[in-house]
Structure 1
Amino acid sequence: MRSLKILLLSSAFNGLTQRAWLDLRQAGHDPSVVVFTDEASVCRHVEDSGADLVICPFLKDRVPRQLWSDVQRPVVIIHPGIVGDRGASALDWAITGQLSRWGVTALQAVEEMDAGPIWSTCEFDMPTDVRKSELYNGPVSDAAMVCIRDVVQKFANGFVPVPLDYTQPNVIGRLQPNMTQADRTFSWFDCASFIKRSIDAADGQPGVLASLEGGQYYLYDAHLDSRQGTPGAILAVQDDAVLVAAGDRSLWIGSLKRKAQPGEETFKLPARQVLAEQLAGVPVLDSSIAHQAFNTLVYQPIRYREVGHVGELTFEFYNGAMSTEQCQRLVAALRWAKARDTQVLLIKGGRGSFSNGVHLNVIQAAKVPGLEAWANIQAIDDVCLELLTARQLVISGLTGSAGAGGVMLALAADVVLAREGVVLNPHYQTMGLYGSEYWTYSLPRAVGSEIAHKLTEECLPISALQAKQYAMIQGIGPRCPDAFGLWLMQQASSALSDEKYLHARARKAAMDIQQVERCREQELAQMQLDMVQNRQQFAQKCQGFVLKRKTCQSPQRLMAAWALSPHPTVQQNRESA
């Protein structure tokens, strides 16, 4: 197939758009990204680019008529729903309705939302007990990639998309209204599983508005518990979460966003932090792995088990953000695990992102954000130091995507293994930071100084496959999360004798601890300038990220050379014809 000029038109360069961009490049195309800012700018950019095809992996804005009406350059929407499904709340309704099958449909943009002819579709079995972000970043993202590859192939072959026809028996999707808070509402007297499903269906955005301790909050990150109490009462606190009694059992609620007053902006924070003043006298449970047996069925943000000579430590922090306190808990857990009589220490993420580094929301909420950022970066450095200095061979398992300090945290291990399809963003500069987490030691150690410079300066995502080619990671395991967990344990169990990890074992033995310490000192000297003195506008960039400020233009680094070159517009072509 010839290389196509493909524009990815998206409301943000989110995880799915990054996967699409990487996959198209891997297939030999040269995709360019346009972030939807305003209609006039987007139309001008698309028409001047000379693109063959426009694909919208994640578009919350309506496609302008000027673009979808040009039949020579199709605009294809990637909709997270089965054929015939329409509306912005597709996944919310699918989770709420406990559907057994769902899918993704690629359809051509027309005037009526999601009603255009069909280019491709891919269905999958719905996981049980799934939250929306987990569904979106897992099965939906995988199905979307199948559809995008299919669309590109079909476009190259001159395919004509099939009109949506509701009279066909296989078209079972329907137009769904946008889900409102009235559709999500629950009572604390309802059963816990129903409440959890309501929260899961609103995960990420917009959350479920509910009353708690006399206030109105949007709820996120729910986990079932067997304890009982007066519905709506807070029974206990553990780590960042509060335990709220429901009609039959109870739920841990990990994150809250206070309902904003007119003219006010609020954002998600750990529930314990939001409700701090209301928690006096509430029992605080000990969550340390030394006193809590491994159990996947209960709320355990950090959990540990041993299999033979392998100690497996799982940490699962909401959205991959790691606050100062979370890092301190992880340091304590690592120290305990390192003292065990094991030979391999396997650290891995949970269901969401592996790690995205420091907790920007907690930093933004602090009285002095710069000082909280400074405390946070030192705490996550402490996590990395525990990994670098472990007696055991340390293996990190990238169960989900990782960014900035989260990538470098993984590289502090001796061996890095990744789940197929994960995306890594090994850079800091877009947030106005020099970077820490021993990256000036761990990244060049893995890939060499030239590639390390390229990765941190270009500020582009890389795929697991690219990371393996760069020697950032040593292996790629199955895409299925359960299968990946089993594969990880198999790799860890054989790592001490497996020849493919011989280099990692030798490199560990040759580590220069004084060099490691110098790297930390030099990095923190730079980070103090960035975080405390705001050298590169970290404060403004952090605020913009937390408050979800819309970008004013597409980042230059995501634009292909062909999309930047002047091309005659469609109108000029027509006039000359």
Structure 2
Amino acid sequence: MRILLLVSAFNGLTQRVWCALRDEGHDVGVEIAPAFDSPEALTAAVADADPDLILCPFLKHRVPQEVWDRWTTVVVHPGPVGDRGPSSLDHAILTRQERWGVTALSTVEEMDAGPVWATSTFALPDVPVAKSALYNGPVADAAMACVAEVVRMVAAGEQPVPADDMPREVPGTGELPLLRRPAFEIDWSLPVEELARRVAAADGAPGAPAQIDGERFCLFDAVASPDVLDPDAEPGTVVGHDVDAVALAASDGTLWVGYAATLAERRGTKLPARMVLDPRSASVRRAGPPELAETHYERDGDVGLLTIRSYNGAMHTEQCRRLTAAVTEALAEDTSVLVLRGTESLFSNGIHLGVIDAAEDPAVEAWANIQAIDDLCEAVAGADQLTVAAFTASAGAGGVMAGLCADVVLSRDGVVLNPFYDMGIYGSELHTWTVAARVGPEVADMLLTGRLPLSAHRAADLGLIDAVGPRDTGEFDAWLAKRVAELAGPAELAAASAAAQDRAPDRPLSYHRTIELAEMARDIFDDRHGFAARRGDFLRKAAAPETPERLRFARSGGSPEEVR
């Protein structure tokens, strides 16, 4: 089937849909709606593509009637049947919904009011989950189920059902208003659990505004703790820190905040909280909640398991240094296998563009950041033990390359990998060795220059990773534990070590690092490919000026060139 993805941005969910449909053999193209200056221009682009089906997995823009009148157009809405409005997930978190869902609807004049093609619901946790984690986890999984059903129905010639005829699995749904930043205001007289819920609901955008020590900030990545760290502190006062997280006194406990941004006329860049809130007030070191810990190490016999957490997947200079120290310490133990894994919703996307952009000298900070993440990669690549990387969530750029430095690379189903650099930089993280060592120089060149995402299964087919486990978190953890236990056995350990040795570089790792850093120096200090501007556009979420040609249907009617 010829399927057009009409989207506001090529975000994580869109990439996952794109990968899944292509893996199934469909001819898939993309058009980014804000790149068109008029409804007529967008309609003309759709007419040129002439798809069998238009899917909108992430669309904030209105579809012209000339489009949905002529082509079957289905919007994936992050709410259950009956829910309408642009702040669906925000409302679900704030109002403590026990269950939520995703619905695929035909586009009509009235937003989110068309006939229903498919719907899928899921339970929401009692403890609030950040909106981005919810979106990339249960929402994305439900959306994929809806997309699969839509494609099946269209292929079978079936029609959607009027919304009023559909049962409502979540009672009381209806049209809900757009929630702007004041709706998430932190009122320090409220219980700390309610404050954490507001931060979770405002995650990503718009952020939860708060008054702290007489200044205005936006808070992100928060955890409520019942512990009162300073009984004399006024609510809203900084009372300590743990690495990058900052503790704020609340009326009945402590609100731990991992990330924050200044808030004046417009919101500043999201940064680790200790870089934004007054560090003098946060000089007292406290024990923070485990949910915000950068690393967590466990040992099971001959296997060491190091879990790494990075908010939004970005890792700044000091964090990379701490992670390198954690890896080095874990490798000092007498284990035979070390596993490096991410969390359920995060792995890594490499260096921290926000910290770089906010630095007094961005070029100097970028140079320090790339050196620090290279140190982490060398620690993994040069380990005496067998190393295993587990992609528990999607990853991009340097995050993918860091994972590929391990001897064995495993992934959870549904993960999308972007094994390339698309920010005006050459990239480092030993990628000139690891990618070609796994897939060969020709395929490596196509991956790096083609700049197309890969599903975990496609990456395994190419040999970029070794195996894919279940999507369900609990099932994946059990699968990973079983695989690693097998790898720790004498025969499997010898075989895996031999395979890793076959991929070992002919030259020292420093050779590849030197080549990469020579190119990076020109990109960072000479800005030869627009790293500064691209970085700024990314951080400010600037609309794409045009749809990248590599994402469109080929002019001949086929898919863009890809690795087969």
1:27 is matched with which residue: 24, 29, 52? Answer: 24
User: TM (normalized to structure 2)?
Assistant: 0.93
- Contact 1:225/1:298 (8 A) holds in 2: no
Residues 389, 110 of structure 1: alpha-carbon distance in 2 compared, 3 angstrom cutoff: same
How far residue 332 of structure 1 moved from its aligned partner, in angstroms, is 1.3
Residues 1:142 and 2:141 aligned together = yes
Residues 536, 504 of structure 1: alpha-carbon distance in 2 compared, 3 angstrom cutoff: farther
Residues 563, 75 of structure 1: alpha-carbon distance in 2 compared, 3 angstrom cutoff: farther
- Tell me, in whole angstroms, the C-alpha distance in 2 between the residues paired with 1:472 and 1:417: 10
1:259 is matched with which residue: 255, 258, 263? Answer: 263
Residue number in structure 1 paired with 2:561: none
How far residue 498 of structure 1 moved from its aligned partner, in angstroms, is 7.3
Structure 2 matches for 1:3-402, cutoff 5 A?
A: 4-37=1-34, 38=36, 39-70=39-70, 73-129=71-127, 130-165=129-164, 172=171, 173-228=173-228, 229=230, 230=233, 231-261=235-265, 266-275=268-277, 278-280=278-280, 282-285=282-285, 297=290, 299-402=292-395
Q: Deviations over 1:38-90 (max 9, x none)?
A: 333322211222112111000011112222233xx111100011011000111
Paired residue type of 1:253: V
- Contact 1:530/1:538 (8 A) holds in 2: yes
How far residue 186 of structure 1 moved from its aligned partner, in angstroms, is 3.4
* Stretch of structure 1 that moved more, 182-191 or 361-370: 182-191
- Contact 1:132/1:203 (8 A) holds in 2: yes
Residues 341, 300 of structure 1: alpha-carbon distance in 2 compared, 3 angstrom cutoff: same
How far residue 281 of structure 1 moved from its aligned partner, in angstroms, is 5.1
How far residue 225 of structure 1 moved from its aligned partner, in angstroms, is 2.9
Q: Deviations over 1:159-211 (max 9, x none)?
A: 22222217966674211111233432332232221111111111111111111
- Tell me, in whole angstroms, the C-alpha distance in 1 between the residues paired with 2:125 and 2:91: 14
- Tell me, in whole angstroms, the C-alpha distance in 2 between the residues paired with 1:260 and 1:419: 41
Residues 1:453 and 2:435 aligned together = no
How far residue 312 of structure 1 moved from its aligned partner, in angstroms, is 1.2
Look up the SS of the partner of 2:400 in the other structure: helix
- Tell me, in whole angstroms, the C-alpha distance in 2 between the residues paired with 1:446 and 1:286: 44
Please give the root-mean-square deviation of Cα atoms over the aligned residues, in Å: 2.1
Residues 563, 265 of structure 1: alpha-carbon distance in 2 compared, 3 angstrom cutoff: farther
- Contact 2:99/2:170 (8 A) holds in 1: no
Paired residue type of 2:401: M
Give the gaps of 5 or more residues in structure 1: 566-577
User: TM (normalized to structure 1)?
Assistant: 0.91
How far residue 395 of structure 1 moved from its aligned partner, in angstroms, is 0.7
Look up the SS of the partner of 1:417 in the other structure: strand
- Tell me, in whole angstroms, the C-alpha distance in 2 between the residues paired with 1:240 and 1:368: 21
Paired residue type of 1:91: L
Residues 1:486 and 2:483 aligned together = no
Q: Deviations over 1:208-262 (max 9, x none)?
A: 111112111111001233431332121111222111121211121111121132x
* Aligned residue pairs, count: 548
Residues 99, 525 of structure 1: alpha-carbon distance in 2 compared, 3 angstrom cutoff: same
How far residue 440 of structure 1 moved from its aligned partner, in angstroms, is 0.8
- Tell me, in whole angstroms, the C-alpha distance in 2 between the residues paired with 1:123 and 1:10: 23
Give the gaps of 5 or more residues in structure 2: 559-564
Taking only the aligned residue pairs, the percentage that are identical comes to 44
- Tell me, in whole angstroms, the C-alpha distance in 2 between the residues paired with 1:340 and 1:323: 26
- Contact 1:90/1:176 (8 A) holds in 2: yes
Look up the SS of the partner of 2:179 in the other structure: coil
- Tell me, in whole angstroms, the C-alpha distance in 2 between the residues paired with 1:196 and 1:265: 20
Residues 265, 96 of structure 1: alpha-carbon distance in 2 compared, 3 angstrom cutoff: closer
- Tell me, in whole angstroms, the C-alpha distance in 2 between the residues paired with 1:559 and 1:448: 27
How far residue 502 of structure 1 moved from its aligned partner, in angstroms, is 4.9
- Tell me, in whole angstroms, the C-alpha distance in 2 between the residues paired with 1:169 and 1:555: 39
Residues 1:531 and 2:524 aligned together = yes
- Contact 2:49/2:553 (8 A) holds in 1: no
- Contact 2:439/2:463 (8 A) holds in 1: yes
How far residue 286 of structure 1 moved from its aligned partner, in angstroms, is 7.6
Paired residue type of 1:30: D
Q: Deviations over 1:13-59 (max 9, x none)?
A: 01111111111111211110001123333222112221121110000
- Contact 2:100/2:170 (8 A) holds in 1: no
- Contact 2:274/2:282 (8 A) holds in 1: no
Residue number in structure 1 paired with 2:424: 432
Look up the SS of the partner of 1:31 in the other structure: strand
Residue number in structure 2 paired with 1:559: 552
